């Protein structure tokens, strides 16, 4: 139980650090941009949120799919190839978020 609390605190600390870094990056980049700073701030923030949330969602998806894949492979080792495909599909969520962030940054 104690290890679970420690891991929860570490996760909360990492998320707050990510949020602080994202906001400081947004405001610093908006000041150096040639477009309206208010528009640039929202654009950079949207790109940061798209990337961050898709990475967190991909991590959660890979955790569930990976656990199920390992459990299935322990019963039937011949389905290892299909299990890896499913894990790869779950990881694709992060790539989609990154593509959306690149598209948002391209419009700024």
Specify the pLDDT at position 52: 85
Q: How far is CA 24 from the centre of its chain?
A: 18
Tell me the mean pLDDT in the region 5-15: 63
Q: Where are the domains of the chain?
A: 2-107
What topology is assigned to 2-107 in CATH?
A: F1FO ATP Synthase (1.20.20)
Tell me the mean pLDDT in the region 86-96: 84
Q: Return the higher-pLDDT residue of 78 and 33.
A: 78
User: How many residues can be counted in the chain?
Assistant: 108
Give 48's contacts (C-beta < 8 A, 6+ positions apart). Answer: 22, 25, 26, 101
* Confidence class for position 67, pLDDT limits 50, 70, 90: confident
pTM of the model: 0.62
């Amino acid at each position: 139980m104690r290890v679970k609390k420690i891991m929860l605190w570490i996760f909360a600390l990492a998320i707050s650090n990510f949020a602080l870094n994202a906001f400081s990056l947004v405001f610093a980049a908006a000041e150096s941009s040639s477009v309206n700073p208010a528009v640039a701030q929202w654009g950079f923030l949207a790109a940061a949120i798209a990337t961050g949330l898709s990475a967190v969602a991909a991590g959660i998806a890979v955790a569930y799919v990976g656990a199920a894949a390992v459990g299935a492979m322990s019963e039937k080792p011949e389905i290892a190839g299909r299990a890896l495909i499913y894990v790869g599909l779950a990881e694709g969520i992060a790539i989609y978020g990154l593509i959306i962030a690149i598209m948002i940054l391209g419009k700024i």
